[in-house]
Amino acid sequence: MKITKAVIPVAGLGTRFLPASKAIPKEMLTIVDRPTIQYIVEEVVASGIDEIILITSQGKSAIENHFDYNFELETVLKSKKKDNLCEEICNISNLIDIVSVRQKKPLGLGHAIWSARNVVGNNPFVVLLGDDLVQSETPCTQQMLNLFNELQESIVAVQRVPMDQTSQYGIVEGEQLRERVIKVNRLIEKPPAGATQSDMAIIGRYILQPEIFDLLENAKPGHGGEIQLTDALLALSKKRPLYAYEFEGTRFDAGDKLGYLKAIIAFALRHPTLNKEFRKHIKEVAADL
Ligand code: G1P
């Protein structure tokens, strides 16, 4: 079955990024020359998905506007003969169809995903978390779709993290089936020290079977008093196979101040026009350290 829909939750308050995220959504903070959310949308588009469902909340309309057509801006750019810029701006609104669904209460990631149930319908779908940027040859979502084509079951993307950081993630335990593919036996959201021996952390890319919606509907509040996607995934893994996939690429936590800075440097070093000058600058700065 071909997956055509991607859900991107953007309803969170972005408290880790205050004060920058006080009046603008954290997803609109810039990495080099585009907001972080644009990298996520571009990954979806590059992976052949047709439609995005944004799960939004109050104060997030800048995200919708960014991917919308801006007649006034286009007219001004055209009149000033800035055709290249005009085309670039138009291309953003032509990227993909986006629909928005409001998450009516801030009850957690699981609840945000559940809010998409009517738009997703009875089909498997992709979830991308806006904080997690992945730099890779093949888009992370495409890598997961390739695996889904073979397995036809839910998949979570994982990466190994230092043991003293496991309490910041959903952690997966399971058996290695082959290189990069793990059959999941257990999942724990943000385990306290000593609660797991596994260093396999979920990062923000999922392929989910629609059964997840019923499980989310009946889920009890978990870690932090929120409806956790990880808890619903544990329930799903008891009903049908769930896999973890060690993706190829580098992941940045762009929702964290240090992770955001690292992302800026990594993406600037690969930027088609800025990379040379920027590399030179970084070398000069490093020499002075
Ligand atoms: C969420 C998930 C967690 C996952 C993480 C990846 O947590 O609940 O399982 O490991 O994203 O970024 P959050 O970082 O939103 O608290």
Q: What are the domain boundaries of the chain?
A: 5-288
pLDDT at 211 exceeding the cut of 80: yes
Cα 271 to middle of ligand 1, angstroms: 28
The fold for domain 5-288 equals Spore Coat Polysaccharide Biosynthesis Protein SpsA; Chain A (3.90.550)
pLDDT tens, residue by residue, 52-85 = 999 999 989 999 999 988 889 889 999 999 988 8
- pTM of the complete model: 0.95
How much is the pLDDT for 15? 87
Q: What is the mean pLDDT of residues 163-190?
A: 97
Q: Is the beta carbon of 158 within 6 A of some atom in ligand 1?
A: no
How much is the pLDDT for 94? 84
Q: From the alpha carbon of 12, which atom of ligand 1 is closest? A: 15
Consecutive H or E run containing 177: strand 170-178
How much is the pLDDT for 69? 86
Cα 203 to middle of ligand 1, angstroms: 7
pLDDT at 1 exceeding the cut of 80: no
Q: Is the beta carbon of 171 within 6 A of some atom in ligand 1?
A: no
54 forms bridges with which residues in the sheet? 8, 100
Neighbour-count burial of 40, counting CB atoms closer than 10 A to its CB (0-12 exposed, 13-18 middle, 19+ buried):
buried
Cα 85 to middle of ligand 1, angstroms: 36
pLDDT tens, residue by residue, 179-191 = 999 999 999 999 9
